[in-house]
Amino acid sequence: MVQIFNQEAFKNSATAIQIDDLKTVKRCMILVPHPDDESLACAGLICLLKESGTQFKIILTTDGSRSHPNSLTYPSEKLAALRKLELEQVLQVLDLNPNVLACYNSADSAMPAKGETGFNELASKLTNDITSFQPDLVLVPYELDPHRDHRATWQLLMAALEKGNTQRPKIWEYPIWLYENAAESDIPKLSEQELKLIDVTKYIEIKRNCIAAHASQTTNLIDDDPTGFMLSEEMMSNFTNGREYFMERKKINPSSTLTEDYFDTLYSGNGDPWNFEKSEYEQKKYRNSIASIPSKTYNNALEIGCSIGVFTAMLLQYCNNLLAMDISSTALAKAKERLANNPKVEFLLGSIPSDFPNKMFDLIVMSEVGYYLAKDDLLTTRTLILNQLNVDGILLLVHWTHFVVDYPISGDDVHECFKELPLKHLNHFRNEDYRIDVFQKQS
């Protein structure tokens, strides 16, 4: 067994979080595989956030029915009811409305993982809950926490976010069985500031009471199953020392603009990673994009992120001169091959905002690119676009609106950012997957 999250080992590496650092958290969603995970992992944080008026949504993903599989006194259905009652008692201790709890009732120790029967239905259910609640912060078990239900719950969150259209929440992962049962391959390799520490000494008695409310897991309440589970004092001591630990990994909380290496890796494995050439979805999106801009010939146009040149070829029909740029040399080589000997197109290898061309344009197209940028880089790019767009010039924005774990911001973030500019909003289109916005620069 490997104990990695003890106080002594991490006190010098964890970043302390204060209440002022959590002021932006207005809605917190907590995913718990089993009743008691919420008390162990984050009862103190709940108390801290509650003082600031944060709203909560707690998703219990399993029914908790298998901790004592051989008990005759508490067969699975009765045990599930007991464990739900214990969780409801915790909500009372925390002074939370019982309506914050949603139960998905997956089979304990057999929750469907990604690719297994029932997983997609659970993901759709969680997508609906996320969409209606719109959390700023989501707490979820660590990706490789050594229990299949914990790992499946993490996978469920990722799938649900990808299905929905929601603002990117901050995602904090909490360890439970990582403390005792981790194999070496389970241990996270954390960089600086990815481990967060919250001092919850002020709430330690409340937290102890929450843990104690789960009597079926902490005492001999169920005494007719010698194979039954019970939390050991040693295990509980990891959670009752006045500190709570969370991981804010950059892997699922990206904050930096994606680099050339990211895209070259994509293209090296697949020459057309988004299936631009053959996808009817992409072709229809391209047609809708072109139909959304004023129908005329544009003398000088800029396409930011031309990729392998499929959309570039369609845009050329409406442009006298088109500058197509991309960050990936691999993608740009394919675009040049596709449009070889076409005098109307020029190619530029570069990234935005650093390599934004110093020219004036009548049309600027940014399709499926903006969410690759960190917010500061997007704001710089926004200023460059505004400055390099001619009077009466057209800006076309097209972006996927679902969550993508790799992207620093969402497609909606991109479009809402540009709506703040002094541009005339000519056109808007949105379906379940993407949105189009067209702007015009006024004199």
| pLDDT of res. 412 | 95
Burial of 132 (0-12, 13-18, 19+ CB in 10 A): exposed
| pLDDT of res. 131 | 94
Return the CATH architecture of domain 7-247: 3-Layer(aba) Sandwich (3.40)
**pLDDT for residue 27 is more than 50:** yes
**pLDDT for residue 376 is more than 80:** yes
Q: Is the dihedral angle over the CA atoms 140, 145, 148, 154 positive or is it negative?
A: positive
**pLDDT for residue 2 is more than 50:** no
Tokens 């659970």 belong to residue: 122
Q: Are residues 74 and 68 in contact, defined by beta-carbon separation less than 8 angstroms?
A: yes
Average pLDDT, the chain: 94
Local confidence band at 7 (pLDDT 50, 70, 90 cut-offs): very low
**pLDDT for residue 4 is more than 60:** no
| pLDDT of res. 432 | 93
Domain boundaries, the chain: 7-247, 260-441
**Nearest CA among 429, 423, 346, 351 for reference residue 391:** 423
Local confidence band at 11 (pLDDT 50, 70, 90 cut-offs): low
| pLDDT of res. 409 | 94
Cβ partners under 8 Å of residue 268, min gap 6: 330
| pLDDT of res. 182 | 83
Q: What is the pTM of this model?
A: 0.89
For the residues 32-54, what does the mean pLDDT come to?
A: 97
**pLDDT for residue 3 is more than 70:** no
| pLDDT of res. 8 | 58
| pLDDT of res. 207 | 98
| pLDDT of res. 306 | 97
Tokens 């998905």 belong to residue: 104
**pLDDT for residue 94 is more than 60:** yes
**pLDDT for residue 5 is more than 80:** no
Q: How does DSSP classify residue 407?
A: -
**pLDDT for residue 14 is more than 90:** no
pLDDT tens digits along 118-138:
999 999 999 999 999 999 999
The token duo for 49 is 């956030």
**Nearest CA among 103, 112, 118, 440 for reference residue 293:** 440
For the residues 381-389, what does the mean pLDDT come to?
A: 98
Peptide bond before 422: cis, by omega within 30 degrees of 0? no
| pLDDT of res. 323 | 98
| pLDDT of res. 269 | 81
| pLDDT of res. 166 | 83
Percent of the chain with pLDDT strictly greater than 70: 97
| pLDDT of res. 165 | 83
Pairing relation of β-strands 243-247 and 195-199?
Answer: antiparallel
Pick the CATH number of 260-441 from 3.60.15.10, 3.40.50.150, 3.40.50.620, 3.40.50.1820: 3.40.50.150
CA–CA distance, 344 with 319 (Å, rounded to integer): 8
pLDDT tens digits along 261-300:
999 889 988 888 899 999 999 999 999 999 999 999 999 9
Strand order in the sheet with 434-441: 345-349, 319-326, 298-304, 361-367, 389-400, 434-441, 423-430
CA–CA distance, 134 with 168 (Å, rounded to integer): 9
Percent of the chain with pLDDT strictly greater than 90: 89
